[in-house]
Structure 1
Amino acid sequence: MQDSLERQSPTVLPLTAKDVKDLRKNPGYSNVDIFTYEETRLATKQFRPDYILGEGGFGVVYKGVIDENVRPGYKSTAVAVKELNPDGFQGDREWLAEVNYLGQLSHPNLVKLIGYCCEDEHRLLVYEYMASGSLEKHLFRRVGCNLTWSKRMKIALDAAKGLAFLHGAERPVIYRDFKTSNILLDADFNAKLSDFGLAKDGPMGDQTHVSTRVMGTYGYAAPEYVMTGHLTARSDVYGFGVVLLEMLLGRRAMDKSRPSREHNLVEWARPLLNHNKKLMRILDPRMEGQYSARTAMKVANLAYQCLSQNPKGRPLMSQVVELLETFQTTEVTHEEAMLNTGAGGITLYEAPNKSSHSPMKNRNPARSESHRQVETRRRSAANGRSKSEPPKDFDLYDPPRIEAEDKPESNRG
């Protein structure tokens, strides 16, 4: 699997812009357009406030359209335009990283960079528009959740394919900021990785790791990377494990609104993943009846391995892809059957002891009460959550910044 990924990966261009001046001298990646600032203004109707999709550490993201009115002869294309905030946490370095990586790399599970603007002090990126927004928005929405088990497994597979492609490229790329807000969904809920500002070239030749300043997001960064600054592809695997755990449980990686022992999702949940009964009690109840217990345990075991404290104990992303592929068709069929019949695939709570002499009427209310307690806790946690998230570019050793800014709920690119 790994060999095939390497053979299929694109040839990485030997000349990569080192700075904006260098980019202006060598502007070209053949599949990326260069836009003027006026063209980006026209595309977003002069950056209209009601076109704002969200705001992050980079700046504001607008919905727009590139068409004949913007550039004669251009096929009408829905886009997301991300404008660098000169006073924000990020600068030219991260902006340039996005242009360099997405200008060279193309894959169905990476958001497509359509073009950029680098005019005077203006720094903008133009991406394909991802109509369904981020995984974060859907997974942690306060009212309802349309992410079924099969959708979550498909999103996990798509995201895993994106990471496997990066790791298997001719010059390996470490994504470094894998999290739910950076996984975007198109109109059909196909998932793509976005936001390459923190991406780094992986180790080459005899190198075992890349030493770098510790950057990323609390709760997702691998422990060995936080401790040593040593970055490897296995650091991304850990981040994938965190997101997979979030999808299984419907909980955020870091949630201060919960009891103190449950603030850090991995620390609290990982020891429970290999205990079948305990696992069934903590799975997201919004998915009840949509999967088989056997498959749920297999996915939980995969998350457990990805979250190993020992980097060498984590699987390769190519292996993760292979495993997730085996869950797709069987579980979709199972889910459809369960939804059509209204039957449940598993019971999230222990059934009453059959030897009990308690009347039947006393059993169902108890189970309903358990459901109500779960729902109450979830609603309480949701109401206590802040929409704020750490800036995309920050030092993990800098706690004051951890809740410094709001993240966009839609296309961040």
Structure 2
Amino acid sequence: MMKYVLGSLFLVLGLCVSAEEPFRPEAGKFPAVEKAHTYRGELVFVDHANRRGSLRVQGAGGTYFRNAPHPFALLPYAVVRYHGAPADLRDIPLGTVLHVKAFLPPDPKLSAVPVLPVDNKDKIAGYSGTGVAPAENHVLLLEDEASHCQREGLVWKLKDVDIKNNEGMIVASCEPKDGGNAKPTTENLTFDAATRIWRGRECLSVADLVAEGLWPASGKKSLDGQAVQLGITWRPTPDGIFTRFHISDLWLDDSAMQRATLVQTETHKAFIRSRWMPALVDNVEYGKFGRATVTATLFGGMDTSLYADFQKGGQVLANGAENTLKHAGGAYGPAHMASKGTLLNVTKAAVEPPLGSSGIQIQFETDLVIEGLRPGRVFRVRPAGWPQVQVPREEYVGDGSNAEDRFPTPIIFPKY
């Protein structure tokens, strides 16, 4: 009987066609985030070198554990955030629940993940319901719960806790930090002895809160709407509950959250300095004997100190890259075939740039323009003061003669 009830429910959900119009970005342009499709899901697979992975997407109703991993690829200018700071895919643990804003593939022929029918998010996927495999699988924004809440001005308010043997359930609601008329949705979230609890500079456990008398050793206690930030994951649950999320981290105060943000910021700054800043070529003015003046826009989502290193009159190195941001050309690291030059100008847009763009435009002159520096192409650039290191083999494509190396096919992903 339950089988037929669920089937009828999914049929009704499937008839509720999405009001969003599928949008396909244009190459060389930053798309408007307002046109993106929004969803969230659990990170279950990562191919960090090719900036792609899979999410178990939360759909409309359905049995969450049955939802097949849904492949996604990061757009070259995608913004990834973890703990309220810039991040790379390699920084985010598997199992983390992420919020996504994504589009159709800009060029389906070059997609590194499967290309799906444009209305796929409205289709019923068996017991999983609708929305679990959207065709919008090219991501502009990928962020964990803490990053999402900080960007949207939200906090989690803890209503009460029910605990036994250092594990149990918290009833909480996600609400605007400054109040408002929005009606919060209450959720039941699990926690256990492995849940990390952050307070100022301390990393506590559930047992520590019990020992301090803040939480009971057993039974229920009201938490009076205590405002916190949460890290959320998913794990299989008993009792026939299909969609219930789990607390991996709990930040009790702003100081604790700020420290987590600082640590992740420093991690990402070191990463970008070793891999170079990604950018988009806006224009190239060709001169004689290989000389050229290149104008480009630096990608967004980075720490401001990285952008501050680009100063007029400074020296830069620029190397071609593919849409996966892999360095292209040369067999001895990114500096092998890089163009060298002087920054002629660094300007900041007067208006708020679209997500993915920093709004910072650089112009430099070089006496050796390489193939990767063409209008509309992605490349990487670094100020001369950044360290010159060799990137691991999986992060560059050599001379680019192998098409599958340049544009990874989606063949690694199962067809569910």
Under TM normalisation by the shorter chain, which class is it? under 0.3
Who wins on radius of gyration, i.e. which is larger? Answer: 2
- With the length of structure 2 as denominator, give the TM-score of the two structures: 0.23
Which one has a larger percent helix, Structure 1 or Structure 2? 1
Query: Higher RCO, 1 or 2 (CA under 8 Å, sep at least 6)?
Result: 1
